Amino acid sequence: MSLNELTIHELSAKLARGEVSSVEITKDVLTRIKQVEPQVHAFLHVDEADSLRQAEAADKLRSSSSSSSSLLGIPVGIKDVIAVKDQPCGCASKILKGFISPYDAFVIQKLKAAGAVVYGRLNMDEFAMGSSTENSAYGVTRNPWDLERIPGGSSGGSAAAVAADECIAALGTDTGGSIRQPASLCSVVGLKPTYGRVSRYGLVAFASSLDQIGTFSKDVRDTALLMNVIAGHDGNDSTSVPQPVPDYTKALDGSVKGMKLGLPKEYFIEGVDKEVSAAVRAAVDKLASMGAEIVEISLPHTEYATAVYYIIATAEASANLARFDGIRYGLRVEGAKDPIEQYGRTRAAGFGQEVKRRIILGTYVLSSGYYDAYYLRAQKVRTLLRQDFINAFEKCDAILTPTSPTAAFKIGEKTDDPLQMYLSDIFTISANLGGVCGVSIPCGFTSAAKPLPIGLQIIGKPFGEETILKVAHAYEQATEWHKRKPILTA
């Protein structure tokens, strides 16, 4: 098995024993990228020389100190919406083409302090707006399990790169399911932390009250190791919560005995693919056989979640993306007779269709005469959705649902029907609106000629990451789904 196929904890153990070097691991990852990237297209940019310099520095640090960091010398890929100093940060958009970040995001500072090799800019839906990574200005990322299908979105590049072993792990962002949905469709582990658990400083904002940076990894232990590093309070982010960071690996004891796991009736409905439903039900049965108590719960306002999300998210996007005007940085279309025309020309040329659609929707719901009817009402229903979770967690420790209503669909299948595309996130949106945490883990495959991954979503209380990782790890250790790899030939 090549080094790029191993997990963080496996590589960390080999590094500690002196069996391999960070340079060797990084070279394996870079070689893998060259082999499969023409098929997958997960990356927008890779600086090989800088990656190897970081790996050499990690090896020197290991030889000259007693550093115990599990991430020392481990290559971690970064979604193209998180700032890394002196690297491009284009959000997969033409309007930021050529923009180089002048500083590191908080999570990047933490990764670098832990000795990780921070490399690569991973493809995504433009400004994180989409569920398929078809909205990137620089081409579609393909699902490693079936190259004719989407990897999910908006963090599709991150999920595909981890699944294809082009990354040991990766960071992504989740505004309405953009980590968990692609993790499900690519058969990797994807965690959206509680809002405020991981700093958003250095994240290019889409919807500020919903965005959260999270992780992609090959197994649950790796997710815990990443969270040990990137979680924590940051004074540069006013929404960052000053709460101590536990050692998440201590929760991974392999047991769910005596835990109460909720099954919301609103998530097991018509329209969910039969194979998805069957795989998730089988996962629920497996957890029950391991000693968990399965209790039926209700999240009664779930039916309003998609409508509420697309009012609040587009409103915040309209405000956040107003800064991209062709004046201060990024693309500027010349030849306009006045600043107003220049704004219009630059934004028309720089933004893609989906971003324009959401800006227009957001501007509309915030406009005079519609604010109360749409935005204010949506915020009130959001409060009810959050209360649903609070009530449900009085009866259970965590909630089990499908991550996505279907397995990965074909490229181009839903591009002409935005509403159908939006419904891809129907099971993940509520967690963002409620500010709770959620993780997707592999739980099966379809019976297609090219089997497609299916994900189980585990939702936890605010700052309940330890609990959902405990459940996820116990299920993972009792099954083999996470060990299956897509077949990609160079």
Do strands 398-402 and 260-264 pair parallel, antiparallel, or not at all (unpaired)?
A: parallel
The Cα 61–Cα 214 span in angstroms is 27
Q: For 134-207, where are the E strands, in sequence order? A: 169-173, 189-192
Residue at 380: amino acid letter:
K
The residues, any chain, with a CB within 8 Å of residue 57's CB and separated by 6 or more, are none
The Cα 393–Cα 387 span in angstroms is 10
79, 110, 192, 218: which is the annotated catalytic residue?
79
The residues, any chain, with a CB within 8 Å of residue 50's CB and separated by 6 or more, are 119
70, 132, 154, 277: which is the annotated catalytic residue?
154
Beta partners for 456?
Answer: 402, 441
70, 131, 178, 184: which is the annotated catalytic residue?
178
The Cα 154–Cα 175 span in angstroms is 9
Evaluate the CA torsion angle 60, 161, 239, 459 in order and state its sign.
negative
Catalytic-residue membership of 14: no
The Cα 245–Cα 197 span in angstroms is 9
Beta partners for 213?
Answer: 173
Do strands 189-192 and 117-122 pair parallel, antiparallel, or not at all (unpaired)?
A: unpaired
Determine the 3-state secondary structure of 25 from DSSP.
helix
Residue 98 burial (CB < 10 Å; 0-12/13-18/19+)?
exposed
Q: Which two tokens stand for residue 302?
A: 């779930």
Catalytic-residue membership of 178: yes
Vertex 448 angle, CA 442 and 454, to 5°: 15
Q: First-to-last CA distance in the chain?
A: 16
Catalytic-residue membership of 154: yes
* C-alpha radius of gyration, the chain, whole number: 21
The Cα 8–Cα 3 span in angstroms is 10
Contact predicate 402/457, CB 8 Å = yes
Q: Which two tokens stand for residue 110?
A: 């933490």
Element (H, E) at 344: helix 339-350
Q: Distance from CA of residue 82 to its chain's centroid? A: 12
Evaluate the CA torsion angle 421, 425, 427, 431 in order and state its sign.
negative
The residues, any chain, with a CB within 8 Å of residue 284's CB and separated by 6 or more, are 261, 263, 294, 400
Catalogue the active-site residues: 79, 154, 178
